[in-house]
Structure 1
Amino acid sequence: MTEHARTKKLINAPENIIAEMIEGMVGAHPDMLKVEGQTGRAVVAVDGPRDGKVGIVIGGGSGHEPAFAGYVGRGLADAAAVGNVFASPSPAQIADAARAADGGVGVLMLYGNYTGDVLNFTMAAEELAAEGMTVRHVAVADDVASAPLDRKEERRGIAGDFFVFKIAGAAADLGEPLARVEALAQAANDATRSMGVALAACSLPQTGRPNFSIGDEDMEIGMGLHGEPGIRRQKLAPVDEVTDELLDTIVGELSLAKDDRVAVLVNGLGSTTQIELYLVFRRVKERLDALGVEIHASWVGEYATSLEMAGASITLIKLDATLQSLLDHPCRTPALTVGTLTDGAAAGLRSRRTEKAAENRSSTVEAARDLIADGDVTPAIFRAMMQNVGDQIIAEKDWLSELDGVIGDGDHGITMEIGWRAVQSAMQDAPDDETIEGTCKRMAKAFLDAVGASSGPLYATAFLRAGTAVGNRLNLDGGAMADWLTAACQGIRDRGRAEPGDKTMIDAWVPAVVAAQACADKGLPALETLAAARDGAEAGMRSTVAMESRRGRSAKLGARSVGHIDPGAASSFIMLRAMAGALETALG
């Protein structure tokens, strides 16, 4: 495939594919699935949630079908929050799923261990806790290629979701209390190991181009589900050799020996043939038979894909009597049926929180108060600045995705475009007399509702903190502009736990704030303050080239992340450049 060739997909408008997919999925399985909540992204089991049962909520980005909504149904998950392609669902979407799953005795959230998912599910849990719901979490971390065993908590979740979801769903269906369901889910997580290999790239529907490049004769050992680089690239080898390499670490970490019992999942990543998958399973069975390890159950097929990526993963769960019985417990979902369900307890009347939540949602209406009017940045100019940020992000989206394709999953430009288009749309509804703080609240909600990737919670927190920092202002002068930038930066740091040198957006924001504060200390006006912040952000962005990533998905690359601009730092620079440019235009 040439560098500029576009891939072909059977889609309508790329921006509508998730809504249309959900419509098709629910339409195909009306006896199992329905949609609840205002976001339209909570897929709920028709006969799953019920009073007195722990609610099981799963979720993650689209593109991994049948995960995640395919595992919604009686005996497994009660609801799934469906994110955009390769992006976590937003807190609002997750909260919709949790409210639908709530049976009054708590909800367990299960998702892959990715920064965006952790941030968004945590924010949703905070909102739900304020409503009185008890929420627990288990982040699936089964990918042995993504971190060493002594840092297992940093590992990605890949196809191991399949076993963790199944066991947690069975425990909840049997009426176990929340603490017990959480403990069993964690036990399944601890007993599960996976490793994968990629042979060819996938392409995002919005770009129509491969999200990474790989040679025609090469394979990537340890590739992530979003196209994150693995531990090594090498020439394609015979299937038995590849299978042995994937299996060796798994077998070693699980300490498998004679008379142990496991369940096996050989998972296709999207375009790998059944022939190839069964060849992989053949070798897995051959190896386990030689060890005297019993295969209690096995699945071969597509269970956690990566769009049309070519490749496969192997997942083993080491079983004890409890985990085995839960694995065997009946369930019925579009993607997985185990055993035969009895009529039993069907969904009945449940404690509903949706209406109450709608009543409790914060209003953007502001009380009249005296505000400081000094400064060149009026609310109208501020909104023009934010509109220009959206325009510039959209103009640079391909560059941002290209940067992300090298050290991430290739969707940063798409994600930022989605968020800023939502912000631009939301600002069209802003009243003329809305304050800068009110606009910041409006932006935060729009960005968070639209973007489920890590950028959503990070920038929503940034906008809220920044707005609060200038809540006593009508207009912004140089000092207030510096305060706005400082609070935004601190919000990102607090929410994301990143520090300078981690190779993240913080490496652009911190020098921007330092430069802005220096201008404010001199009493310089807002334009000079923003121009200095822009220059500081650019220098910070360029400094990320020499850094080794320590946060986010690219942290798994180690030294391979050196030599590339961090996409988050790049988008941060574009934002500050756009703000300064719009202010300069407004002031003539």
Structure 2
Amino acid sequence: MTHTPTKKLMNAPEAIIPEMIEGMIYAHPDMLRLDGATGRAVVAVDGPRDGKVGIVIGGGSGHEPAFAGYVGRGLADAAAVGNVFASPSPQHIKEAAMAVDGGAGVLLLYGNYTGDVLNFDMAAEECAAIGINARSVAVIDDVASAPADRAHERRGIAGDFFVFKVAGAAADMGLPLEQVEAAAQKANRATLSMGVALSACSMPQTLKPNFDIGPDEMEIGMGLHGEPGMRRTKIASADAVTDEMMGLILDEMALNAGSEVAVLVNGLGATGLMELYLINRRVAQILEGRGVKIWQTWVGEYCTSMEMAGASITLIHLDDDLKRYLAHPCRTPALTVGTAPEPITGATLTPRDYAAATRADTIDRAALKTDGTIDRATLKTDGTITPQDFRTMMLAAAEAIAREKDHLSELDGVIGDGDHGVTMDIGWTAVKVALNAAPADDTITQTCTKAAKAFLDAVGASSGPLYASAFNSAGKAVADRLNLDATATAAWVEGMLNGILKRGGASIGDKTMIDAWAPATKAALASVPTGDPRAVLSAATQGAKDGAEATCDMESKRGRSKKLGQRSVGHMDPGAASAHTILSAMLAALPR
């Protein structure tokens, strides 16, 4: 289907996030400042202090005012800002944690998406290695994304609003880390959401709708990133749509006459207040009919999906503790509750020295050091793929991903959030920059470790940690070699698979990139007896192609597309497709 390009007021797509952050700081200099070398940690001017638990929230951009809009006194101390619809990287998150570390620990809060879980978990490990006690809470409010008996699998949508508010209040009250975490988890368990979308959004890099939807259709249960929902149906009246969303929430939330709730009616970016108030009218009628008391209501855009039309409803089942946390004063760009708290006289945040601490080895950070010496005399030199050949092959993969990024994003738009090609291109562009700046005599292992660091630092999302782990593992697998022979070429491919398996946890048949890397590895190992590295890489490429095509017949069991069930069948997994793109480009660039 041919689409008319969407319109966005921007300068360059690659600059849209730093320029957005710069604009936020200019707008709110009394509340926000920027910290960290990456420029992705937005920190509260007033709030972080010695003895207080630091609250770090974060996620992909495109959901404004979430996440940085909730940074300020009484709520979040910092936000780690990712690329559009992509998690911040571990480095972004760690810099945010370091900026608010008051010695009492740090609580990390984010939506329950594969990329966010991977990156925030890695950041927590790295924080622990430098002496910061970091704990995590993944928000799981979306009732459309998994049944109640698998609530831990649910994604976080606008329910972030309530969970963040409760955690921020508990920390501002001076509670210890264990109690702040418990308060956040209590709010998490008490919060349920449901959404509906009427139109698609588009990525700044593609200017194409993330998915197709008819002019008279709506998607029930749509995710915040444009992921398809539970089902598609003809558009209905405001009351009918609200009845359906509330029905799923109330089927699960145990509300009796006299129960109290807080309500959030949230616009997804292109839905006006007129329509949101119609939804809220019906929400109030339904709750009043059940004898449920509405303690407080918020209506507006609090967690959006760029220019998507649609709305979500969030309820939090209240008790006295949760009401106290929600009523606690806060002042942020997106939310002010009560009288804005006055600055605390004499409060300071003591600078801490992290330089001497041992860094975490979540992706074997020690292996990423590029200033170590290597005794080349001990490396095996048989084999026809030289370090220079390998670097050329990696640069060719970067160029291929750049060419295919729109296609890969289109594949992702059908069953995911439409950003896979964009995200991979960001990562591989960073790899290209790093390799072009590297010494000409780098070994293959050094090239891999530099690629790992570049990819991880540039990319959040799930692909950042997964490919960083893959490159590190593959580099280690050939660390004893200068050149690659057939056996070592197969070992490199197998190392890529093992790194992804170790970090990601998916299995063959889950409809992920593993379904391309696993058959690629099997074919590569089977071709080792030929003694020809080209034959090994050719077999791996064909294995990846076959594996990627086989994902069309699979039902997704991992990531954002898992909730689609049978609706994911018939569509190729974008991660598997990009794996084939990488190997195919490396093969084509291998000198004969």
Same fold (TM over 0.5): yes
2:440 alignment partner, SS class: coil
Q: Which amino acid aligns with 2:403?
A: A
Name the counterpart of 2:498: 490
CA shift, 1:351, in A, is 4.1
CA shift, 1:350, in A, is 2.1
Q: Which amino acid aligns with 1:573?
A: H
- 2:115/2:463 contact within 8 Å kept: yes
Cα distance in 2 for residues equivalent to 1:15 and 1:300: 32
Q: Which amino acid aligns with 1:349?
A: L
- 1:96/1:354 contact within 8 Å kept: no
Name the counterpart of 1:113: 112
Name the counterpart of 1:211: 210
Q: Which amino acid aligns with 1:335?
A: A
- What TM-score do the two structures reach when normalised by structure 2? 0.97
Cα distance in 2 for residues equivalent to 1:23 and 1:525: 53
Change (3 A) 1:345 1:531: farther
Cα distance in 1 for residues equivalent to 2:325 and 2:223: 28
**1:321-348 Cα deviation digits (max 9, x unpaired):** 1011001000100000001213335651
Cα distance in 2 for residues equivalent to 1:203 and 1:449: 24
Cα distance in 2 for residues equivalent to 1:543 and 1:232: 25
1:145 alignment partner, SS class: helix
- 2:48/2:349 contact within 8 Å kept: no
CA shift, 1:366, in A, is 2.4
- 1:530/1:580 contact within 8 Å kept: yes
- 1:85/1:204 contact within 8 Å kept: yes
From 522, 534, 538, give the equivalent of 1:514. 522
1:396 alignment partner, SS class: helix
The reply to whether residue 352 of structure 1 matches residue 358 of structure 2 is no
**1:508-539 Cα deviation digits (max 9, x unpaired):** 0001000111112x152211100000011111
What are the residue-to-residue correspondences of 1:505-544 with 2, within 5 Å? 505-520=513-528, 522-544=529-551
Q: Which amino acid aligns with 2:219?
A: E
Q: Which amino acid aligns with 1:321?
A: D
Cα distance in 1 for residues equivalent to 2:515 and 2:355: 42
- 1:50/1:346 contact within 8 Å kept: no
Name the counterpart of 1:381: 389
2:57 alignment partner, SS class: strand
Cα distance in 2 for residues equivalent to 1:109 and 1:400: 31
**1:354-401 Cα deviation digits (max 9, x unpaired):** 655799975311223221111111111110000000011111111111
What is the total number of aligned residue pairs between the two structures?
Answer: 583
Name the counterpart of 1:450: 458
CA shift, 1:317, in A, is 0.2
**1:72-117 Cα deviation digits (max 9, x unpaired):** 0001001000000000001111111011111111111000000000
- 1:76/1:333 contact within 8 Å kept: yes
CA shift, 1:432, in A, is 1.3
Name the counterpart of 1:233: 232
From 556, 559, 572, give the equivalent of 1:549. 556
Aligned identity (percent) is 65
Name the counterpart of 1:368: 374
Cα distance in 2 for residues equivalent to 1:76 and 1:87: 23
**1:226-263 Cα deviation digits (max 9, x unpaired):** 01011111111110110010001112211111110010
The reply to whether residue 47 of structure 1 matches residue 46 of structure 2 is yes
- What TM-score do the two structures reach when normalised by structure 1? 0.97
2:342 alignment partner, SS class: coil
**1:119-165 Cα deviation digits (max 9, x unpaired):** 01111111111112111110000000000000001101000000000
Name the counterpart of 1:188: 187
Name the counterpart of 2:100: 101
Cα distance in 2 for residues equivalent to 1:497 and 1:476: 29
Name the counterpart of 2:424: 416
Name the counterpart of 1:470: 478
Cα distance in 2 for residues equivalent to 1:303 and 1:144: 19
CA shift, 1:3, in A, is 2.6
- 1:48/1:346 contact within 8 Å kept: no
1:203 alignment partner, SS class: coil
Cα distance in 1 for residues equivalent to 2:553 and 2:194: 29
Cα distance in 1 for residues equivalent to 2:150 and 2:359: 43
Name the counterpart of 1:576: 583
Cα distance in 2 for residues equivalent to 1:21 and 1:354: 29
The reply to whether residue 439 of structure 1 matches residue 423 of structure 2 is no
- 2:130/2:359 contact within 8 Å kept: no
Q: Which amino acid aligns with 2:570?
A: G
Name the counterpart of 1:56: 55
Cα distance in 2 for residues equivalent to 1:343 and 1:43: 19
Q: Which runs of 5+ in 1 are unaligned?
A: none
Alignment RMSD: 1.3
- 1:57/1:110 contact within 8 Å kept: yes
- 1:79/1:97 contact within 8 Å kept: yes
Displacement over 4 Å in runs of 4+: 353-362
Cα distance in 2 for residues equivalent to 1:169 and 1:42: 17
Cα distance in 2 for residues equivalent to 1:345 and 1:485: 59
